[in-house]
A and B are shown apart, each in its own frame.
Chain A
Amino acid sequence: MKKMTKHDIVVIGAGPAGMAAALAAYEAGVKDILVLERDCEAGGILNQCIHNGFGLHRFGEELSGPEYAGKYIDMLKDTSVQIQLGTTVLNIENKIVSAVSSKNGFEQIEAKSIILAMGCRERNRGPISVPGDRGRGVFTAGAAQRYLNIEGYLVGKRIVILGSGDIGLIMARRMTLEGAKVLAVAEIMPFTNGLSRNVAQCLEDFDIPLYLSHTVTNVIGKNKLEGIEISQVDEKMKPIKGTEKRFDCDTLLLSVGLVPENELTRTANIELDPRTKGATVGEDMQTSESGVFACGNVLHVHDLVDYVSAESERAGKSAANYVLNGKSEVSNTTLVSNGMNVSYTVPQRINKDNVEKSVDIFFRVRKKMRLGEIRVESEGEKIASFKREFLAPAEMEKITIPKVLLDKAQGNLTVTAIEVEDAQ
Chain B
Amino acid sequence: MYDVTIIGGGVCGTAIAMYLSKYDIKCCLLEKDNDIAIGTTRANSGIVHAGYDPEPDTLMARLNVRGCELIEDLVEIMNIPYKKVGSMVIAFDENDEDHLRELYERGIANGVRGMELLDKEQLLEREPNLSPDVTGALYAPSAGVVNPWRLCIAMAEIAAKNGVEVFLDSEVTAIEKINGAFKITAGNKEYDTRYIINAAGLFSDRIAELVGAKDFEIRPSKGQYYLLDKTSNWLVNSVIFQCPTEKGKGVLVSPTAEGNIIVGPNAESGNERDDVSTTREGLDFVAQEAAKTTKLIDYRENIRSFAGLRANSDKRDFIIGESALCRHFINVAGIKSPGLSSAPAIGEYVIEILEDCGLIMSKKEDWTYPEPHICFADLTDEEKEELCKRDSKYGNVICRCNLVTEGEIFKVLDTYYVKPRTLDGIKRRTGSSMGRCQGGFCGVRIHEILCKYYNIEPETVLWDRNGSYIVAGKVGEKND
Taking Cβ atoms with an 8 Å cutoff, the residues of A that contact B are: 2-3, 38, 86, 88, 90, 98, 100-106, 108, 121-122, 124-127, 129, 131-136, 139-140, 142-143, 146-148, 150-157, 178-180, 217, 219, 222-224, 239, 250-251, 263, 266
Contact = CB atoms under 8 A, between A and B. Distances in A.
Interface string B192-220: 00000000000000000000000000000
A379 to B, nearest CB: 33
Given A129-B302, A131-B280, A155 B440 contact: no
Contacts of A90: 403
Contacts of A219: 277
A129 B277 CA distance: 12
19 contacts: A86-B395, A100-B395, A102-B395, A103-B392, A105-B392, A106-B381, A125-B305, A126-B304, A129-B226, A132-B278, A134-B277, A135-B468, A153-B472, A156-B472, A157-B472, A157-B480, A178-B476, A179-B479, A217-B280
Given A106-B384, A125-B304, A153-B458, A224 B474 contact: no
A47 to B, nearest CB: 13
Contact of B299 (A2, A129, A150): A129
A151 B397 contact: no
Given A122-B437, A136-B469, A154-B473, 8 more contacts: A2-B382, A105-B389, A122-B440, A126-B438, A132-B278, A136-B470, A143-B440, A153-B473
Contact of A136 (B306, B397, B464): B464
A148 B444 CA distance: 11
Nearest to B479: A179
Nearest to A87: B395
A224 B469 contact: yes
B300 interface: yes
A180 to B, nearest CB: 8
A272 B11 CA distance: 42
B394 A143 contact: no
Contacts of A139: 440
B304 A121 contact: no
A126 B274 CA distance: 21
B385 A124 contact: no
A125 B406 CA distance: 26
B395 A105 contact: yes
Interface in B264-302: 274-280, 282-283, 299-302
B373 interface: no
B475 A152 contact: yes
A57 to B, nearest CB: 28
Contacts of B302: 126-127, 129
B406 to A, nearest CB: 8
A147 B381 contact: no
A153 B475 CA distance: 5
B385 A2 contact: yes
Instruction: Give the interface size class of chain B.
Output: 35 or more
A151 B299 CA distance: 34
B415 interface: no
Contact of A105 (B282, B385, B459, B463): B385
A144 to B, nearest CB: 10
Give chain B's interface secondary structure class. mixed
Nearest to B377: A90
Contacts of A131: 277-280, 282-283, 305
Contacts of B384: 100, 106
A250 B463 CA distance: 14
A133 B396 contact: no
Contact of A88 (B397, B458, B475): B397
B234 interface: no
B385 A223 contact: no
B384 to A, nearest CB: 4
Contacts of A224: 467-469
Contacts, number: 160
Nearest to B443: A143
A157 B459 CA distance: 13
A394 B472 CA distance: 32
A272 to B, nearest CB: 10
Given A136-B464, A223-B464, A102 B471 contact: no
A125 B438 contact: yes
B357 interface: no
Contact of B470 (A98, A155, A222, A266): A155
A223 B440 contact: no
A124 B305 CA distance: 11
Contacts of B476: 152, 178
A106, A136, A178: residue with the most chain B Cβ atoms closer than 10 Å: A106
Q: Identify the 8 closest CB pairs spanning chains A and B, nearest first.
A: A105-B388, A136-B468, A88-B397, A223-B467, A106-B385, A153-B471, A126-B303, A179-B479
Contacts of B471: 147, 151, 153-155
Interface string B387-425: 011001111110011010110000000000000000000
Contact of A142 (B280, B440, B478): B440
A133 B401 CA distance: 24
A3 B480 CA distance: 56
Contacts of A150: 444
B470 A126 contact: no
B173 interface: no
Contacts of A142: 440
Contact of B440 (A3, A124, A178): A124
Nearest to B407: A102
A2, A105, A139: residue with the most chain B Cβ atoms closer than 10 Å: A105
B465 A223 contact: yes
A124 B472 contact: no
A150 B473 CA distance: 14
A134 B306 contact: yes
Contact of A104 (B395, B438, B448): B395
A223 B466 contact: yes
A103 B400 CA distance: 18
B469 A98 contact: no
A150 B393 CA distance: 23
A364 to B, nearest CB: 18
A156 B471 CA distance: 6
A356 to B, nearest CB: 39
Contacts of A153: 458-459, 471-475
Interface string B65-101: 0000000000000000000000000000000000000
A148 B468 contact: no
Contact of B393 (A102, A155, A180): A102
Contacts of A133: 276-277
Nearest to B386: A106
A405 to B, nearest CB: 37
A297 B469 CA distance: 32
B388 A88 contact: no
B470 A132 contact: no
B463 to A, nearest CB: 4
